[in-house]
Amino acid sequence: MDPSDQKHFTVVDYVIFAVLLAASMAIGLYYALSGGRQRTTQEFLMADRSMGCLPVSLSLIASFQSAVAIIGVPAEIYTHGTQYWFIGCAYILGLFIPAHVFIPVLYRLRISSAYQYLELRFSKTVRICGTLTFIFQMVIYMGVCVYTPAFALNTVTGFELWGTVLATGLVCTLYTTLGGLKAVIWTDVFQTVVMFAGQLAVIVVGVLRTGGVSEVWRKVWEGNRIAGLDLNPDPTERHTFWTLGVGGIFLMLSLYGVNQAQVQRYLSSRTEKEAVRSCYMVFPSLQLALALSCVMGLVMFARYCGEDHSDKLGSSSRDAMVIYFVMDMLQGLPGLPGLFVACLFSAALSTISSAFNSLATVTMEDLIKPHFPAMTEARATLLSKALAMSYGLLCLAMAYLTHLMGDSVLQVALKIFGMVGGPILGLFCLGMFFPWANSIGAVAGLGAGLTVSFWIGVGSIVTRTSGVKPLPPDCRVALLSNDTTAAIQTALSDVALSRPSGLKRFYSLSYMWYSGFNCFTVILVGLIISFMTGRKVLTHVLSPQRSSPPHHKESNGQVGTSQEETESFLPEAPFVEYETAV
């Protein structure tokens, strides 16, 4: 991109960005110096289980609404139209099921790591497998989240790339390490507000500069960006109501039902009711977040009518074009470009800090504490902080790796969730809904699920055949009579989608089905292996009906549940050993 076209920042913009980092830092310091001063893991990792539903719900949004969505969704809408908006239909069951199935089971166990459930239900091995899979998923996802805003900004504005990544990563690591989960949740609240404000500013200015609402509507309507209800049942069709509205439910369950970052927020709520309420409160905010990013894509389309600006942006993807659009809109309005940069980094920081903290929690609870039961609270807290710091640095390394991935960032993130989050969801479903599943079946199921998911995922990258054709690129085309446009569309679609067959068809499964498909693979294989290896029938499973396990008052008034108390809560009924199936 030639320097003359680069959009520059005024001093005000840099100041606003610095204020964002400073405010986040201040919140971190406040929680490092107040309350219990982060001296126990209960406080550092679980916020003393004292949180209310408002901060928890905003923090739940912030955890999986990163710069990837802020940049990737408008690029998606600009290129392919509003079909993606139907993922909003998945939020209904995608939040209702976590609120009434996953939260009751996990909250009553008074655990810190979601994967402790897997040991209680299956075995320590299954727990370790779940934890390692989660760590793998979040480390890659973190890299994408750190890299996205820095790369996009650098392409368009010359904003110092690695300096930004470093500044963001270090500030985030610091306040997460100093202030623990309380700081992470309250910075999430602050950053979510900044995130919405930034997107709203771009939309308002964009609409005003593109001739007003009616003009924008006319252009997006004639640019056939307003998608109808596409009920095409073909699972290889990238975005349809089924892949987004139904496949998206499994994506949501893998994130809002069993992902440690979200489970930890439910567990940090002061009561189970608060946790359920926070889950309900996510719904409107998530719909708002989705609407803002979709509308931003529509305004961008109305502004550029699908023209290709690669001459200005060089080879960079549509993602970078979103930043180009924002700078084009906000140029000359001092402070607004800075607000949008703050919005972008708020989205990134709030996701990364949640990832650090949840990674430190599971590493501590699942991988370290079981081997050092006698470790003192002080040492455990110090170690947790060291872990948060080291994950922070690892994340910077992952950012560089992202540099090497292709694809639109939204697609990369959603594929990661589908490929890795899907099998973990399958593991929890196997445990909660299938009493006759046993540990061997669980491990085998997870292994099969991950194998199949990477087979499809890698296969789809290698055989990138049906590269989805964007809709007609230009408004002018759309201004033709509808049947001409339809004729062009048909011609395009016939040529583009040379119907893949056999294995190629398998590879071209929509990535929005990865979560559901992999979840079912784990369950299916898990059940088959369980039947083959002799069934242990649980007379009752850890289900919502059960009362909470016994717990005792610690000396400092804290409520705790010791390991033996949890075990006493376990289905103590004797396992019934069946003859191994012939």
As measured in angstroms, the least distance from the Cβ of 198 to Na ion is: 12
Dist CA 63 CA 175 (whole Å): 16
> Which of ligand BTN, Na ion, none is residue 413 near (CB under 5 to 8 Å by kind)?
ligand BTN
For 202, 225, 478, the CA distances from 216, given in Å and listed in that order, are 14, 11, 14
Q: Which is nearer to ligand BTN, 239 or 385 (CB)?
A: 239
Three-state SS for 576? Answer: strand
Which residue number, 66 or 168, has a Cβ lying nearer to Na ion?
Answer: 66
Q: Is 62 in the site for Na ion (CB under 5 A)?
A: yes
The stretch near ligand BTN (CB under 6 A) out of 103-111, 207-215, 247-255, 529-537 is 247-255
DSSP string, 229-246: ------TTSSS-HIIIII
Angle of CA points 348, 349, 350, to nearest 5°:
95
Nearer to ligand BTN, 256 or 304 (CB): 256
Distance of CA 415 to the CA centre of its chain: 11
Residue 300 or 542: which CB sits closer to ligand BTN? 300
Which amino acid would we find at residue 125? T
Taking CB under 6 A as the rule, does residue 289 contact ligand BTN? yes
Q: Is 40 left (phi over 0), alpha (psi -120 to 50) or beta?
A: beta
Closer Cβ to ligand BTN, 74 or 549, answer by number: 74
Closest to ligand BTN by CB, 127 vs 239, is 239
Q: Which helix (H) or strand (E) holds 399?
A: helix 377-402
Distance in Å, CB of 125 to ligand BTN, minimum: 30
CA 328, 329, 335: angle at the middle one, nearest 5?
Answer: 100
CA 232 to CA 369: how far, in whole Å?
50
Q: Please give the residues from 32 up to 51 whose contact with Na ion meets the rule CB under 5 A.
A: none
State which of positions 346-405 bind Na ion (CB under 5 A): 347, 350-351
Least distance (Å) from ligand BTN to the CB of residue 417? Answer: 6
Q: How far is the CB of 505 from Na ion (least distance, A)?
A: 35
Alpha helices for 10-86 (secondary structure H) = 11-33, 41-46, 53-63, 67-80
Q: Which residue, among 10, 2, 4, has the nearest Cα to 331 in the 3D structure?
A: 10
How many angstroms separate the CA atoms of 324 and 336, rounded? 14
Segment contacting Na ion by CB under 5 A, of 29-37, 120-128, 342-350, 488-496: 342-350
Per-residue DSSP letter, 112: S
Q: Which residue is associated with the tokens 């309350």?
A: 35
Number of residues that bind Na ion (CB under 5 A): 6
**Integer Cα distance of 78 and 490 in angstroms:** 20
CB of 63 to ligand BTN, least distance (A): 9
Among Na ion, ligand BTN, none, residue 42 binds (CB under 5-8 Å by kind): none
Shortest spacing between CB 30 and Na ion, in angstroms: 20
CB of 345 to Na ion, least distance (A): 10
- Residue closer to ligand BTN (CB basis): 69 or 529: 69
Q: Which of 142, 286, 383, 450 binds ligand BTN (CB under 6 A)?
A: 286
Q: Does 278 bind ligand BTN (CB under 6 A)?
A: no
Please tell me whether residue 173 binds Na ion under the rule CB under 5 A: no
CB of 396 to ligand BTN, least distance (A): 17
Q: Is 536 helix (H, G, I), strand (E, B) or coil?
A: strand
Length of the chain: 582
Among residues 13, 286, 319, 274, which one has the least CA distance to residue 151?
Answer: 319
Q: Which does 68 bind (CB under 5 to 8 A by kind): ligand BTN, Na ion, none?
A: ligand BTN
CB of 47 vs ligand BTN, minimal distance in Å: 22
Q: From residue 61 to residue 80, what is the string marking binding to ligand BTN with x (rule CB under 6 A)? A: ---xxx-xx-----------
Instruction: Please give the Cα distance from 108 to 559 (Å, whole number).
Output: 13
The residue (of 129 and 326) whose beta carbon lies closer to Na ion is: 326
Binding flag, residue 351, ligand BTN (CB under 6 A): yes
- HSE at residue 215, side-chain half, CA atoms within 13 A, is 12
Per CB under 5 A, 82 contacts Na ion: no
**Token pair of 535, please?**
């069934």
Contact residues: Na ion, CB under 5 A: 62, 65-66, 347, 350-351
Binding site for ligand BTN (CB under 6 A): 64-66, 68-69, 87, 145, 251-252, 255, 286, 289, 351, 410, 413
